[in-house]
Amino acid sequence: MQMRHLGLLLLVAALLAAPPAVSAWRPWPPRNETGGGAASGLGASKKFEGSSEFVKLQYHMGPVLATAITVHPIWYGPWPVEQKRTIRAFLRSLAPPPEEEARIPRPSVAAWWRTVRLYTDQTDANVSAAVSLGAEKSDARMSRGARLSRMDIQAVVRDAVGARTRPLPVDSGGVYLVLTSPEVVVEDFCGQVCGFHYFTFPSVVGYTLPYAWVGNSARRCPEVCAYPFAIPAYVHGRRPESPPNADVGVDGMVSVIAHELAELASNPLANAWYAGTDPSFPTEIADLCEGIYGTGGGGAYTGQLLTDARSGAAYNVNGAGGRRFLVQWVWNPVLSYCSGPNALDQ
């Protein structure tokens, strides 16, 4: 449901004597980690990435996003053009036209989306292969102020679909992505969440629309929401990875956007795919794999990443226009562990 406080997981990994109740929310067994998050035990089990008999991901009979998905970004607060370009490039990379996809080196963002497509609804329809960038809306002047509650995010969506000039279209595959700039404070941001997804209420917005919010954490908590491009102070001896688009806040957002889109697609109305018994606090397909970006990942270790030979930046997928991104893995329902296109064993 929501991208959780990754710091908590790092803290748990750093404190080997963490109480069971706290560490138990991670579905996989603790690794032999030192406080420095060294990759001890890497290779001990190729199927370590989140694999656990304790994970009971269940289907609750609701719909998945099976028709062509159109993502409508809503840029809230001042957004430099280059930052918008990076996020648009990521969204365009999820399902590029075939001739373009053929030019993108593996592992690709589109291959990452293939894991999300493994989720089906009760009519056996898979999550859509088609994901495109739709119309956009800007609210650079922050019409609802620089402090937003969770309900305010719905109001921002309502403003965008109800705008007098060029409202965002309301269509069957539309999802609305509220992206807040570093100056915007959102309820629970940094403390508990880096992003969340839900659906709008007809009484507030006029329609039931899946939407997500993701904030740029650059000013407030990059070590929480832009990990591993920033590292919490209590994790010693660990250097931050260099971000592939040279922007800690935005490169961190890309993985959170990926997280929320994967969950929106597989659990758009909070009644399809999740683990746990409480639909208000479900554990969804990306929650299960938070902090895992490559083979061997878990605890405070990201797993095996790729390195950009020119810039030294860390990434795990290639996208449109020669861009590279680092996105977390998602739970694979066929394999029953976290997987991604950069896995070493495929």
| C-alpha closest to that of 69 among 129, 3, 136 | 129
**One character per residue 279-298, x = contact with ligand NAG (rule: CB under 6 A):** --------------------
For strands 193-199 and 2-4, give the pairing: antiparallel
If you ran DSSP here, which 8-state letter would residue 105 be given?
Answer: P
Give 99's contacts (C-beta < 8 A, 6+ positions apart): none
* Number of residues near ligand NAG (by CB under 6 A): 9
Site for ligand NAG in 98-117 (CB under 6 A): 117
Site for ligand NAG in 307-346 (CB under 6 A): 333-334
Q: How far is the CB of 278 from ligand NAG (least distance, A)?
A: 25
61 in contact with ligand NAG (CB under 6 A): no
58 in contact with ligand NAG (CB under 6 A): no
41 in contact with ligand NAG (CB under 6 A): yes
Residue 3 half-sphere exposure toward CB, CA atoms < 13 A: 34
126 in contact with ligand NAG (CB under 6 A): yes
130 in contact with ligand NAG (CB under 6 A): no
Closer by beta carbon to ligand NAG, 279 or else 333: 333
Which regions of the chain does DSSP assign to beta strands (E)? 2-4, 57-59, 69-76, 131-133, 137-139, 147-148, 174-180, 185-186, 193-199, 210-215, 273-275, 306-307, 314-315, 317-318, 324-325, 330-332, 337-339
Closer by beta carbon to ligand NAG, 232 or else 297: 297
Answer for which of 25, 30, 32, 183 binds ligand NAG (CB under 6 A) is: 32
Task: Please give the residue ranges that form the binding site for ligand NAG (CB under 6 A).
Answer: 32, 41, 44, 117-118, 120, 126, 333-334
